[in-house]
Amino acid sequence: MLELRPNCELCDCDLPPASKDACICSYECTYCAECVETILHNVCPTCGGGFTARPIRPKRAYRAELKLGLEHNPASEKRRYSKFSRPDIDSFVEAIRAVDPSER
């Protein structure tokens, strides 16, 4: 199940479950749209992949028998941060940002 991380791993802004500004890579690294656009240039600093909008999990179970939604599967409260320094991120991003994510 997708982990809904509560913050941008770069600038630490809050990204609640219903945030339309949350972006994820295929490994669930989570960044805000502003960092993805202005600093990361659609390059995940961990895997080198691109980003997509994080889906919004429904608040409640619309099929009660399945026990889905935030009421049964809450968002994570554990804040995460990139393990890479800003200079390392900048050089990594610069090296591959011109390559389309589908070609990386």
pLDDT tens-digit map of 60-69: 999 989 999 9
Neighbours of 39 (CB within 10 A): 17
Name residue 80's amino acid.
R
Asked if residue 41 belongs to a domain, the reply is yes
Q: Is the pLDDT of residue 35 over 90?
A: yes
Q: 45: domain CATH number?
A: 3.30.40
Total structural domains within the chain: 1
Asked if residue 42 belongs to a domain, the reply is yes
Q: In this structure, what token pair is assigned to residue 25?
A: 């890579």
Residue range(s) defining the domain that contains residue 5: 1-78
Q: What is the pTM of this model?
A: 0.93
Arithmetic mean of pLDDT, 49-59 = 97
